Chain A
Amino acid sequence: MTLAARIESFRKLAAEWLRGLYHGMISHPAYEKIETQAEDHEDAFMLACFPDAFGIPSPVSYYTAELLPFLEDEFEAWERRMWDRGSLLERKGHQYHF
């Protein structure tokens, strides 16, 4: 194996490792964070849509009801998230890796 080839293969390996390291340390947690943030926004949206699920009357529940058939996945996920959320702080805490 020539020197040039060895340097080449080393650089490949280093690039792969670096990419993995970057993905694991920076980008992957970032996706996750963005996704949880999106979920949080969605929760707020669902709550604004269906506050009567909690006994709060909504001026537009008549109109938001017609959204329900299209919100199946969101509705289920929302309910699940509502169940296993101890507090807002707890969920926000999950988003940071200490």
Chain B
Amino acid sequence: MRKFVFFGGKGGVGKTTISSAYAVKCARAGIRTLLVSTDPAHSTRDVFDQTFTDDPSPVDGEKNLDAMEIDPETEVREHLMETKRAMGDQVSPAMVNEIDRQLEMAHQTPGAHESALFDRFIDVMRSSDDYDRVVFDTSPTGGTLRLLSLPVHLDGWIQRLLHKRKQSVKLFERAAIGNNEPRRMMDGDPIIARLEQRRDDFTFAKETLQADAAFFLVVNPDELSIRETKRAVEQLDSYGLDVRGLAVNRLTPEPDPDEEGRGATFLRNRVETERERLRELREDLSPPLVAAIETRVAEVKGDFLGEVADELDVEIELKIT
């Protein structure tokens, strides 16, 4: 199994349960594991009955497991503060207002949360030497897919900006003949340095995601969830990402054969349709089903987690490379 494992899927299908169970399973097998939650709703704290912060902290009662929760809102705010601080050092008071408006606007754009999350992802992936496995519990499908497609799209954009900037600086240098000081210089240009750093980040993310990450999609046995999963698999494939399997959650338990009555008939009918859907999943989609987990009566917490973990037929061994 690869080092970075992502769990994704439609909202409310039980991603947190499955990813927590997987993390617990890895930890109990003696692998140093970090569980990262990126869902703003943060249900990890409910699963483990414990609060987590932005920094990895040990999970009570699990020896090899740490967990952290990333809040995109906080990340965006921090980025804004940092940029404003840089502005205070660089910009003359007359221009501050003008630029301030532009800054605030940039942090309100739809992509801001995703970009902030993405930066943190890169951070976590870069500084994960303490762990043998990092499990990401991601936000619902749409957001995650956009997030993972970021390096592919942004890489091209940043390259273009870099190219334009270099072109103009080169011309400014040429225009300064004789003893004239060029208006911009290639050496030590903070813009080029920044853009290059960003480009390196994106390249790192792209390579790591393609070479060292595995993806699992959590599905419920209902029409909508299955359709969304199909789309997700296609998209992930097209980004060159490795979808290892599907985990089906919330299957209806089958009643005993001697049971009659409305409840039992209802359950039997449901099981029948779900079986049909499972068959559809197996036949239409290439990633194999790695888990089929029945609905639990109570919320999955503490001890239950171990039970769910046992049902996960996902390989946990570290690949020694």
Contact = CB atoms under 8 A, between A and B. Distances in A.
Contact of A75 (B89, B98, B110, B116): B98
B161 to A, nearest CB: 6
Contacts of B190: 67, 70
B164 A48 contact: yes
Contacts of B168: 38-39, 41-42, 45
A52 B164 CA distance: 18
Interface residues of A, number: 36
| Size category of the binding interface on chain B | 35 or more
Contact of B92 (A52, A61, A72): A72
Given A48-B161, A63-B154, A68 B103 contact: yes
A59 B98 CA distance: 22
Contacts of A41: 164, 167-168, 171
Contacts of A67: 190-191, 194-195
Interface string A9-45: 0000000000000000001000110110111011011
A59 B195 CA distance: 15
A65 B158 CA distance: 13
Interface in B259-296: none
Residue with the highest number of chain A CB atoms closer than 10 Å, among B76, B82, B109, B177: B109
Contacts of B158: 60, 63
Name the residue among B107, B160, B175, B177 with the largest chain A CB count within 10 angstroms: B175
A82 interface: no
Contacts of A59: 111, 153-154, 157
B191 A70 contact: yes
Nearest to B163: A45
B318 to A, nearest CB: 34
A44 B165 CA distance: 9
Interface in B97-111: 98-99, 102-103, 105-107, 109-111
A75 B103 CA distance: 13
A51 B92 CA distance: 23
B91 interface: yes
Contact of A72 (B90, B103, B109): B90
B83 A34 contact: no
Interface of A: 27, 31-32, 34-35, 37-39, 41-42, 44-45, 48-50, 52-53, 57-72, 75-76, 79
14 contacts: A34-B174, A37-B171, A53-B102, A59-B154, A60-B154, A60-B158, A60-B161, A61-B106, A62-B106, A64-B106, A67-B190, A68-B99, A70-B86, A70-B190
Given A50-B102, A59-B157, A60-B158, 16 more contacts: A32-B175, A34-B175, A38-B175, A53-B102, A57-B111, A60-B115, A60-B161, A61-B109, A65-B103, A66-B82, A67-B191, A67-B194, A68-B83, A68-B103, A69-B87, A70-B194
Interface of B: 76, 79, 82-83, 86-87, 89-92, 95, 98-99, 102-103, 105-107, 109-112, 115-116, 153-154, 157-158, 160-161, 164-165, 167-172, 174-177, 183, 190-191, 194-195, 198
